[in-house]
Copies of this chain bind each other. A is one copy, B any other.
Amino acid sequence: MVKVSNISISTIERLCKYHRILDDMIAQGITNAYSHELAAMAQVTPAQFRRDITSFGNFGNIAKGYDVTKLHQAIIDLLGTCNSKKVALIGLGNLGRTLLSYRGFAERGFEIALAFDKDNDKVGRVIAGRRCFHIDQLEEILPQYNVDMVILATTADGAQNLVNRLGKLGIRAILNFVPKHLVPLEGMFIEQVDISAKLEKLSYLLANG
Contact = CB atoms under 8 A, between A and B. Distances in A.
Contacts of A209: 189
B149 A199 contact: yes
A9 B204 CA distance: 10
Q: Give the copy number.
A: 2
B78 A42 contact: no
A119 B34 CA distance: 39
Given A148-B206, A206-B189, A13 B201 contact: yes
Interface in A157-209: 172-175, 179-181, 183, 189, 191, 193-209
Contacts of A175: 195, 198-199, 202
A17 B197 contact: yes
Interface residues of A, number: 60
Q: Would you call the interface of chain A mostly helix, strand, loop, or mixed?
A: helix
Given A16-B194, A101-B94, A193-B195, A183 B79 contact: no
A17 B85 CA distance: 29
Nearest to A83: B203
A116 to B, nearest CB: 18
Contacts of A80: 203-204, 206-208
Nearest to A76: B200
